[in-house]
A and B are shown apart, each in its own frame.
Chain A
Amino acid sequence: MVDHLHHLTVADAAELIAARQLSPVELTDACLARIAEIDGALCSFVTVTAERAREEARRAEAEIAASGPRRPLHGIPYALKDIYGVAGVPTTAGSRLLANNMAIENAAAVTTLEKAGAILIGKNTTWEFAHGGPSWDALSPPARNPWNLSYSPSGSSSGSAAAVAAGLVPVSLGTDTGGSIRGPAAACGVAGLKPTYGRVSRRGIVPNCFSQDHAGPLAWTCRDLALVLGVIAGHDPHDPGSAAVEVSDYAAALTGSMRGLIIGVPWRWLEEEMPPDTVTRAAFDAALDVLRGLGAEFRDVALPPIIDFHATMKVIAASELFAIHGPDLRTRPDMFGASLRYRVIAGGLIRAEEYLRAQRSRTALARATQRMMAAVDLIVLPTADAAGPLEPVHPASTFTQPSYTSPFSVAGNPALSVCSGFDGAGLPLSLQIVGRLFDEATVLRVGDAFERATDWRSRRPEFQAQ
């Protein structure tokens, strides 16, 4: 039997459950015990659905005993960023505006996971409405980074990444509008996938920015992401942004092979427009060596200026955020955390002409990106520099600092963050792998091959409850 059940990956737990060597009840209890033990300091959960989880686990145990697991997630605990609706469970979006909000129906992804037999264990901390943070004046305190509790787990799917890294739950669903899955995954050293825009339904998820919101998983390994994506991906006619595109067998795509793959690197971004810090750059160069050793070939790709993606993404987001939050800003602006209010408030002054110009720009940038992607199989670059201290950040930085993640939110391409090492302070470093539209299979194949070729998955946070 495994010594630390809470550190089991989805794939390992599923194998043990299928072999009747592990009970879903035992695994669920291990996760709940781990949450009780350390989440007081980590702040990664805002709601723990312990009784519901134990009931679901007992049901899964009986079903599996009778006829074996239905799907790989049968009996596997999972968590949700607290913007996913679950019938009868609080859904606060981390905001005092929704402090008493109880969802009346499940988000589409939740229904799909329930049908697969997965076990909801609770809701994870999010930046307010998946956009403003870190905040100390919103509904709940920000999550902390399990590699160092004084450091930020980034945002906005902060709790999801922190909980997975700390071994509180093997997988959590987050959302990513400009980097909110990939950034926290990078900061916490886990794997996080923003699928192609429209690949996973957003129905039942509290919106951040309708035209750029993506739903996706965070887990310890790419193999786990593949197993979860295989369940939650698919067309939903009730989500206007959902894509009717065939879903691959992502787990079967993890062959370990990279022979013949052509990988692009946006060197102008990395060397002229927005160079990473020296530690991140060294880890990136080392990652390229690993990929080269696995058989990949590289070429330079010239994407449009990163600042153009940034401006486009922010103008669209501010406009759409105001369209959502305008009524509350007009009547009760004091209910917003200061960070979110600052990021939303000026959206009301963006004119229709300017919003449309941003949407035209998005189309042009997406077209340029796809043209460049036609010449390569993938693009790689860092996800972000290592995490900084958890402290108040002036919200103007959201407008003044471009990121390596938002271009692929604008373009809609699938983008994955994997752990690519650790800095001198023991904080995770990251590699971002970007694919062609709807080609999550290749993205996950390369992420999985990278994880297998390195030993970064063998290190876990040495977390001490405080």
Chain B
Amino acid sequence: MNGNQPDRDAILTMARLAGLRLPAAYENELVDAYTHVRALVLRLPEPRARGDEPAHVFNPARFVAKDD
């Protein structure tokens, strides 16, 4: 897909893969909304600092019993 806007069929395929089998009445809504969301995704910068990686939110210390 790269930076290109996917076409309607591609968007509906993506929706099906996400488990969304929408009534026809909502398909236009989805395609329109995704067009806007896609534009915002493309706007996101690409900072790659390892320390900023959100996967680091996993913290095993959280499972150790403490002040309940």
Residues in A neighbouring B45, C-beta threshold 8 A: 308, 361, 364
| B41 adjacent to A356 (CB under 8 Å) | no
Q: Which of B3-17 contact A (CB under 8 A)?
A: 11, 14-15
The number of chain A residues touching the other chain, given as a range, is 35 or more
Question: Closest A-chain residue to B54, C-beta based?
Answer: A359
| A346 adjacent to B52 (CB under 8 Å) | no
Chain A nearest CB, measured from B29 CB (Å): 6
The digit string for B20-55, where 1 denotes a CB below 8 A from any CB of A, is: 111100100110111011011101111111001111
Residues in A neighbouring B37, C-beta threshold 8 A: 314-315, 318, 346-347, 349-350, 399
Bound form: Cα–Cα A329–B22 in Å = 9
Known contacts A315-B44, A346-B34, A399-B36, A356 near B54 by CB under 8 Å: yes
| A345 adjacent to B23 (CB under 8 Å) | no
Residues in A neighbouring B36, C-beta threshold 8 A: 346, 396, 399-400
| A308 adjacent to B43 (CB under 8 Å) | yes
Bound form: Cα–Cα A395–B29 in Å = 10
Residues in A neighbouring B26, C-beta threshold 8 A: 333, 341, 345
Please indicate which of the listed interface residues A348, A349, A395 has the most CB atoms of chain B within 10 Å of its own CB. A349
Residues in A neighbouring B22, C-beta threshold 8 A: 333, 345
Question: Closest B-chain residue to A349, C-beta based?
Answer: B14
Bound form: Cα–Cα A19–B67 in Å = 39
| B19 adjacent to A330 (CB under 8 Å) | yes
B30: which of A338, A345, A350, A395 is its contact (CB, 8 Å)? A345
Chain B nearest CB, measured from A329 CB (Å): 7
Chain A nearest CB, measured from B13 CB (Å): 10
Residues in B neighbouring A329, C-beta threshold 8 A: 20
Q: Which of A375-419 contact B (CB under 8 A)?
A: 395-396, 399-400
| A399 adjacent to B44 (CB under 8 Å) | no
| B41 adjacent to A348 (CB under 8 Å) | no
| B19 adjacent to A326 (CB under 8 Å) | yes
Q: Which of A329-372 contact B (CB under 8 A)?
A: 329-330, 333-334, 338, 341-343, 345-350, 354, 356-361, 363-364
Residues in A neighbouring B44, C-beta threshold 8 A: 308, 311-312, 315, 354, 357-358, 361
**Interface residue? A40 (CB, 8 A):** no
Q: Secondary structure of the B side of the interface?
A: helix
Question: Closest B-chain residue to A318, C-beta based?
Answer: B37
| B47 adjacent to A330 (CB under 8 Å) | no
Residues in B neighbouring A343, C-beta threshold 8 A: 33
Q: Which of A291-318 contact B (CB under 8 A)?
A: 307-308, 310-312, 314-315, 318
| B40 adjacent to A363 (CB under 8 Å) | no
| A360 adjacent to B15 (CB under 8 Å) | no
Q: Which of A218-248 contact B (CB under 8 A)?
A: 237, 240
B18: which of A341, A348, A360, A400 is its contact (CB, 8 Å)? A348
Residues in A neighbouring B18, C-beta threshold 8 A: 326, 348-349
Known contacts A330-B21, A360-B52, A315 near B40 by CB under 8 Å: yes
Chain B nearest CB, measured from A308 CB (Å): 7
| B53 adjacent to A360 (CB under 8 Å) | yes
Chain A nearest CB, measured from B10 CB (Å): 10
Residues in A neighbouring B49, C-beta threshold 8 A: 360, 363-364
Residues in A neighbouring B68, C-beta threshold 8 A: 237
Known contacts A330-B19, A348-B15, A348-B20, A311 near B40 by CB under 8 Å: yes
Bound form: Cα–Cα A349–B66 in Å = 38
Question: Closest A-chain residue to B26, C-beta based?
Answer: A333
Chain A nearest CB, measured from B66 CB (Å): 7
A345: which of B33, B54, B55 is its contact (CB, 8 Å)? B33
| B21 adjacent to A349 (CB under 8 Å) | no
Residues in B neighbouring A310, C-beta threshold 8 A: 40
Residues in A neighbouring B23, C-beta threshold 8 A: 333-334
Bound form: Cα–Cα A333–B29 in Å = 12
Residues in A neighbouring B30, C-beta threshold 8 A: 345-346
Question: Closest B-chain residue to A330, C-beta based?
Answer: B19
Residues in A neighbouring B32, C-beta threshold 8 A: 342, 396
Bound form: Cα–Cα A342–B22 in Å = 13
A311: which of B15, B43, B55 is its contact (CB, 8 Å)? B43
Question: Closest B-chain residue to A343, C-beta based?
Answer: B33
Residues in A neighbouring B29, C-beta threshold 8 A: 338, 341-342, 345
Residues of chain B touching chain A, judged by Cβ–Cβ distance below 8 Å, are 11, 14-15, 18-23, 26, 29-30, 32-34, 36-37, 39-41, 43-49, 52-55, 62, 66-68
13 extra interface residue pairs, beta carbon distance < 8 Å, beyond A330-B19, A360-B49: A307-B43, A308-B44, A311-B41, A314-B40, A315-B40, A318-B37, A329-B20, A349-B11, A354-B41, A363-B47, A364-B47, A364-B52, A395-B33
Question: Can you offer 5 A-B residue contacts whose CB atoms are under 8 A?
Answer: A338-B29, A345-B30, A358-B41, A360-B47, A361-B47
Residues of chain A touching chain B, judged by Cβ–Cβ distance below 8 Å, are 237, 240, 307-308, 310-312, 314-315, 318, 326, 329-330, 333-334, 338, 341-343, 345-350, 354, 356-361, 363-364, 395-396, 399-400
